[in-house]
Amino acid sequence: MPVAPHISDFMASSSFIRKMFEEGMQLKQQYGADKVFDFSIGNPDLEPPAKINEMLRELGESHESRLHAYMPNAGYPETRKAMAEKVSGEQGVEIPFTHIVMGCGAAGAMNSVLKAILSPGDEVLVSAPYFVEYGQYVRNHGGTLVTVPAREDFSLDIAAIGAALNGKTAAIIINSPNNPTGKIYSSDEMEQLGKTLEAHRATCGRTVMIISDEPYREITYNGKTVSPIFPWWKDTVVVSSFAKNLSLPGERIGYTAICPDAENSLELAEAVAYTTRILGFVNAPATFQRIVAACWKESVDYSVYEKRREILMEILDAAGIPFLTPEGAFYLFCRVPERKHTTGEAGDDAAFCDHLKKYRILAVPGRGFGKAGWIRLAYCISERSIALSRDAFIQAGSAW
């Protein structure tokens, strides 16, 4: 009963993030949770807003029938209406509920979208560094992910994106605030991107879709906000979830929102509902559809993440580890420092993560995000744990 050879191969080179997450659980059992500084995964430690559990209790007490039954594959109309209101506000474009399809997290939603649009041989562009699972998602549906290196400050390299577009390009994935860099793309970048896609359409005849993966949209610092995309490019689809802003990653609740001014927008919405069905999601989980319809205006206290960011940046400065100041999300992208006491390849991110692990600091090599020479630290862990990691970082930094 063999595993398909290509799946075995993928597994062997599989996500560093999940490996670290699972190694971290082992280390914590061995040394105690206090003694392990686990910056490996974006698994928010902040508890969800109290209203979430209140709604769970209310649903448990309700005598409403068919609470757990099938509903249309796209989701409950009332949930879709709530999401339409949410995304209309974010994008500044009125979205009817017919253009919302509820999904099993942003990952599920993105798979449904890719399945709906990709033909064999199609390409999907992404600016690197990027969330590495995108490669798998695109490959699941017969496409190829094409990476375009970001500029030095991790903003989009619009000229390079323009050069990468060709007749096989079906879509470009935008992720802002970005995982792993914390970068937020500017409204100007979105405008330039729209113009580039328009010029490509004029010459090539093919419309390239923007897939905007926005689970971190609300988590921003210093008053920064995330610009809308619909005004700059109508052929845009937003996929998002409540994994990060409501701390519900395990519940797999998200959505797809399709710009109503896109070509064939309603047909695409129907196709995404259809692919949600045939991929085996069938529908987003019923209970959490009801909960997010009632709770989407809630949020965790993002200032907690902002404070942690400050503490961690101070520690990294003290440890001599250079980094990019994140504008949003809860990731710090750090450059592997110069070696002073160790030998080996300069900027070897995997070696630096192994080095940090000796100090019980868990981080993920940047090569796992298409950017060797860097590492990612997820700071959605307790302030106390971050503060306690100070000595470990300083020792690790000076011994490298």
Site for its own copies in 52-71 (CB under 8 A): 52-62, 65-71
E strands present in the chain: 37-38, 100-103, 123-128, 144-149, 169-175, 209-213, 236-241, 254-258, 323-324, 331-335, 361-362, 364-365, 374-378
For its own copies, which is the closer residue by CB, 10 or 296? 10
Please report, to the nearest 10 degrees, the dihedral formed by the alpha carbons of residues 31, 37, 43, 44 taken in order: 120
The verdict on 18 binding its own copies (CB under 8 A) reads yes
For 355, list phi and psi in degrees, rounded to 5.
-60, -45
Q: Which of residues 342-361 bind its own copies (CB under 8 A)?
A: none
For its own copies, which is the closer residue by CB, 142 or 322? 142
**Amino acid (1-letter code) at residue 129:** P
Site string for its own copies, 285-324 (x = CB under 8 A): xxxx------------------------------------
Is-contact 342 400, C-beta < 8 A?
yes
Q: How far is the CB of 177 from its own copies (least distance, A)?
A: 19
Q: Which of residues 89-108 bind its own copies (CB under 8 A)?
A: 104-105, 107-108
The verdict on 173 binding its own copies (CB under 8 A) reads no
The verdict on 175 binding its own copies (CB under 8 A) reads no
Buried residues in 149-167 as b, exposed as e (16+ CB within 10 A): ebeeebbbbbeebbeebee
Residue 251: exposure state from Cβ atoms within 10 A (0-12, 13-18, ≥19): buried
The verdict on 43 binding its own copies (CB under 8 A) reads yes
For its own copies, which is the closer residue by CB, 150 or 237? 237
Among all chains, which residue has been given the structure tokens 């052929």?
235
The verdict on 202 binding its own copies (CB under 8 A) reads no
For its own copies, which is the closer residue by CB, 235 or 349? 235
Is 335 in a helix, a strand, or coil? strand
With contacts defined by CB under 8 A, how many residues of the chain interact with its own copies? Answer: 91
For its own copies, which is the closer residue by CB, 111 or 192? 111
Site string for its own copies, 117-136 (x = CB under 8 A): xxx-------------x--x
Q: Which of residues 203-242 bind its own copies (CB under 8 A)?
A: 207, 209, 235, 237
For its own copies, which stretch binds (CB under 8 A), given 87-95, 114-122, 223-231, 330-338? 114-122
> Distance between CA 344 and CA 347 in Å, rounded?
9
Strands 331-335 and 236-241: unpaired
Of positions 160, 164, 204, 279, contacts its own copies by CB under 8 A? 279
